[in-house]
Amino acid sequence: MADLAKADIKSLGRAVGLELEEPLLTEVTYNLNALRELLDEVNPSALDQVEPLPIIPPHERSPHAER
Amino acid sequence: MQNADLPFLSATALGELIRKKEISPVEATAAFLERIDAIDGTLHSYITVCREEAMRAAHEAEQAIAHGEWRGPLHGVPYAVKDQFWTKGIRTTGGSRLLADFIPSDDATVVTRLQAAGAILLGKLNMSEFATGNSVHHPFGTPRNPWDLERNAGTSSSGSGAATAACLCATSLGEDTGGSIRNPANNCGLVGLRPTWGLVSRYGMMAACWSMDIGGPISRTVEDCAVTLQAIAGYDPHDSYTENRPVPNFRAALIQDVRGIRIGVVKEAVDAEFVHPQVKAAVAQAVADLQWQGASVDEISIPLMTSAAAVTRAILAVESASLHHNWLKTRLHEYDHNVQIDFLTGAIMPAQLYYKAQKLRALTRQQVFAALQQVDVLALPSSSEPAPLLPQGTGLKSKDEARQRMSGRRSLTGVFNLANVPALSVPCGFVSVGGKELPIGLQLAGRLFDDGLLLRVAHAYEQATSWHTRRPPIS
């Protein structure tokens, strides 16, 4: 995955009403590219079989998960 | 016993002397305030000391106990809370200059409950700005580790770790989104419990990440931790995600018997190159001690543990940024530099990246639950190392540096925040660094609402060792 350029980061900022300027722009670029890279490296086979639920859905609350 | 010695007692020992009227809550509170005056100019563990309020509450406790109205083991016992918890009429900053003058009109539920238990609030404890964990500059003084003043007390509940280790309160509360209770416990040689999400109310606790935040005790002993948890746990109509179920007697669970308990040592943590060899050795010895006491031990795998730090960071960044969106537009430069970077990253993160992080969270949770089908308790290091040196500079110099911040030790704790299960750190040894002895911790994690079992196992281990009896070299 290619890194985002600073111009890309600036555009993402504008999309949410934030004007990113130096020196923050460079560091936010490092930070977001690092996070993109780290998450891009993780691709377990079951990823498409789960829903993105932040808290525990009822069907997962089996007696084994809970005491 | 001299009054100056009272702060060195455990909270439960102090509470017992108060119950027996051998010590007055007024004497105890005054002794802690004197110690804060003597030491905290160096440690910066407190942001606000509630001197007058504490002495008034201590007099009320003294009167109540004299009239036979003893409320329980924390009645008259001085405690302190991270400055993330609202306190009615008392400044609550979140460790940020943006809230330097914020005075809440209500108490956090956990504060209300500790007051109902008769505990005496000494003050509000220092912390990383808005509990993000990465801030470097602390507007109310840099909290320092009492084991080595040049080292980090642990983030983000830094003041809770420093004050409790230095005996500037009998017990304390921290808050844990990605490890912020267990990391100070590790760095300061304390017992810290991140409770099951839903066991303790979040009402009146400044949010960092709604689905991972939870408050919990940081104490000097497991028994103190159990007693503090007892006071704050349980359903709260102000927090709809607290579970309406009976709260077990956590202190009664401390039966010093681990026979038949199945402990799983997390393979990915043992194999991790980023974990200090002496930390690995200490955790292995701790597990062997528990095995000698009758627990069975197996190795267990949680493959996604290694990516937990990045997943936690992605979710935290987006959710924190959404909470601060207006101030990011109008008061950006009032935040710590590193917090600006984290919040701006969260504010612009593409939705698909956040969506993937949430899916990875769901899978991680499934793996943790699967591991806990095979064993009762998971064991691993609380951190990869003892307390690191305080950071000297801010800012990111490269993408690689950013990667390092989002991996490594934070995976060891973040994995259980993603799963919402309880996790605890208990002292398991010391590592000698630069001539200083620095504490390290054994982390235990368990099933949902099985917090009592973690306390039981930790107590059995603690009572068979002497790590918890050591005090930092600060007088």
Complex confidence, ipTM: 0.95
B180 is catalytic: yes
Q: pLDDT at position A63, please? A: 57
Contact at CB, B349 and A35, closer than 8 angstroms: yes
**Residue A6 above 90 pLDDT?**
yes
Which class for B319: exposed (0-12), middle (13-18), buried (19 or more C-beta within 10 A)? buried
Q: What is the pLDDT of residue A62?
A: 67
Q: Is the pLDDT of residue A66 over 80?
A: no
The full set of domain ranges for chain A reads 6-60
Name the B residues in 380-419 with CB < 8 Å from any A CB: 395-396, 398-403, 405-407
With beta carbons under 8 A apart, name residues in chain B contacting A32.
345, 348-349
Looking at residue B141, which CATH number applies to its domain?
3.90.1300.10
Q: What is the pLDDT of residue A64?
A: 56
- Which chain A residues are closer than 8 Å to B363 by Cβ? 44, 46-47, 50
Q: A58 at the B interface (CB within 8 A)?
A: no
What local confidence, expressed as pLDDT, does residue A59 receive?
A: 76
Give backbone dihedrals phi and psi of B474, rounded to 5 degrees, phi first: -135, 130
Answer whether residue B45 is part of any domain: yes
Q: Which of B45, B135, B172, B180 is catalytic?
A: B180
Could B359 and A31 be called an inter-chain contact, meaning their C-beta atoms sit closer than 8 Å? no
- Alpha helices of A1-67 — where are they, by DSSP H? 6-15, 24-40
Q: Does residue B301 contact residue B268 with C-beta atoms inside 8 Å? A: yes
Please judge whether A50 and B241 are an interchain contact, meaning their C-beta atoms are less than 8 angstroms apart: no
Interface touch B369/A16, C-beta < 8 Å: no
Would you call A66 and B344 a contact, using CB atoms and an 8 Å cutoff?
Answer: no
- Cβ contacts below 8 Å, chain A against chain B, sum to 140
Domain that holds residue B248: 3-469
B82 given a catalytic annotation: yes
d(CA B367, CA A48): 15
| Pair B145, B401: CB distance under 8 Å | no
Any catalytic annotation for residue B407? no
Q: Please check whether residue B348 touches A, CB under 8 A.
A: yes
Domain presence at residue B426: yes
Backbone angles phi, psi at A33, to 5 degrees: -65, -35
- In this structure, is residue B474 part of a structural domain? no
User: A61 contacts in B (CB within 8 Å)?
Assistant: 448
Q: What is the pTM of this model?
A: 0.97
With beta carbons under 8 A apart, name residues in chain B contacting A55.
197, 211, 241, 420
Judged against a pLDDT cut of 60, whether residue A31 lies above it is answered with yes
pLDDT along chain B (475 residues), means of 10: 94 98 98 98 98 98 98 98 98 98 98 98 98 90 97 97 98 97 98 97 96 97 98 97 96 96 97 96 98 98 97 97 96 96 97 97 97 98 97 89 90 97 98 95 98 98 97 89
Residue A55 is predicted with a pLDDT of 84
